Amino acid sequence: MLRRRQAGTKTTRMTGQFPATRLRRTRATAWSRALFRETVLTPADLIWPLFVTEGSGVEDPIGSLPGVSRWSVDLIAARAKEAVALGIPCLALFPNTQADRRSDDGREALNPDNLMCRAIRAIKDACGDQIGVLTDVALDPYTSHGQDGLVDGAGYVLNDPTVEVLIGQSLNQAAAGADVIAPSDMMDGRIGAIRDALEEAGHANVQIMSYAAKYASAFYGPFRDAVGSRGLLKGDKKTYQMDPANSEEALREVEMDLAEGADSVMVKPGLPYLDIVRRVKETFEVPVFAYQVSGEYAMIEHAAAAGAGDRDALVLETLLAFKRAGCSGVLTYHAAHAARLIG
């Protein structure tokens, strides 16, 4: 058994010698495996990301995310009720903003009647505090260039002017009833600025879950289809999202966001970055979440469809891996399906 590490103490193991110690002994029967299981996955560990679109009565399937749809606001409350019934404690919302409401400066993010705000209100009206609503803060669903912030003439994403807009976006979402503000933009200094603004506006209990260690990843493709930014995005996001080669830097990102007032931190993508989850958890001992992103979801779906593995087993094993690595919870498009399998 690995003991909890304490400063200045060496980890000790109590593993003996074969044959007195046979590690297969406790694996021999189902009851024993259940008794010795170190990690459990429950529906309460899951956050379910949902995409919202204009119109009414619309369920719009997303081609590159098989099994996932965009829902119009009138249908989104039913998804929330489904989540409550399944024991899922929190939803994450992403809007597919209509094309004529996207602009260079992403000002639709500040509209109190934008898709996101209408969806928040619909869910809160239907479910109240039975479920948490987590909202993404970044400008990419609202900009005509698909970047997460304001850009200069050369296309460089400007930090401080973007933070000013993100403050307004966060206040807009909080006013609509968001429970957790989740900045995914990777601008420097935004957590502290948003925290101050929330406190001042009387939203002391609105949480911040920071996308603290978010990497410039190739796994976001289907998500960009889902929010309609893929065709718009020129270039990449490498001047603000992290280099996949870096791990020390993730700890610095997390440390800064915690110091600025983040209630929890996120690592994203998920499975390829479990080493980061583990380092963050062991270093800071704070609530850590991971985002099993769209490309990861698609890999599982396509692998299962190709007969390369059993879908349900793949889903549950990957989600359990997040818990084992140290996550308090996981954002996953498989949330409802997984909750049903566990349930």
* Cβ at position 49, least distance to ligand PBG in Å: 7
User: What mask of x and - would describe binding to ligand PBG in positions 18 to 57, judged by CB under 6 A?
Assistant: ----------------------------------------
Contacting ligand PBG (CB under 6 A), which of 140, 179, 257, 260?
A: 140
Which one, 81 or 161, has the nearer CB to ligand PBG?
161
| Residue 268 a catalytic site member | yes
DSSP code of residue 164:
H
Q: How far is the CB of 237 from ligand PBG (least distance, A)?
A: 6
Is residue 138 a contact point for ligand PBG (CB under 6 A)?
yes
Instruction: Give the binding range for ligand PBG (CB under 6 A) out of 68-76, 161-169, 217-225, 255-263.
Output: 217-225
Binding positions for ligand PBG, 265-304, rule CB under 6 A: 293-294
Instruction: In angstroms, give the least distance from the CB of 158 to ligand PBG.
Output: 16
Residue with tokens 């080493």: 275
Question: Cα(130)–Cα(108) distance, rounded to whole angstroms?
Answer: 29
Choose the catalytic residue: 124, 237, 268, 281. 268
State how beta strands 90-95 and 207-214 pair. Answer: unpaired
CA-nearest of 28, 126, 111, 40 to 79 is 126
Neighbours of 57 (CB within 10 A): 8
Task: Pick the stretch among 78-86, 218-226, 308-316, 321-329 that binds ligand PBG (CB under 6 A).
Answer: 218-226
Q: Are 88 and 43 in contact (CB under 8 A)?
A: yes
Q: Smaller CB distance to ligand PBG: residue 223 or 322?
A: 223
- Beta-carbon contacts of 80 under 8 Å, excluding residues fewer than 6 positions away, are 91, 123, 126, 127, 131
The correct pick among 53, 73, 133, 148 for binding ligand PBG (CB under 6 A) is: 148
Chain Cα centroid distance, residue 81: 20
Whole-angstrom Cα distance, residue 208 to residue 65?
27
Given candidates 53, 96, 169, 184, which one binds ligand PBG under the rule CB under 6 A?
184
**CB-wise, 238 or 252, nearer to ligand PBG?**
238
Find residue 60's DSSP bridge partners: 70
Is residue 220 within the footprint of ligand PBG (CB under 6 A)?
A: yes
- Nearest CA to 226 out of 98, 102, 62 is that of 62
In the bound state with ligand PBG, the residue whose beta carbon lies nearer, of 140 and 301, is 140
How far apart CA 277 and CA 316 sit, in angstroms, is: 18
Partners of 69 in beta bridges? 61
Pick from 45, 136, 225, 260 the residue near ligand PBG by CB under 6 A. 136
Q: For ligand PBG, how many residues bind (rule: CB under 6 A)?
A: 12
DSSP string, 169-194: HHHHHHHHT-SEEEE-S--TTHHHHH
Binding of residue 96 to ligand PBG (CB under 6 A): no
Tell me the C-alpha distance between 114 and 196, whole Å: 24
Active site residues: 214, 268
Residues that bind ligand PBG (CB under 6 A): 136, 138, 140, 148, 184-185, 220, 223-224, 237, 293-294
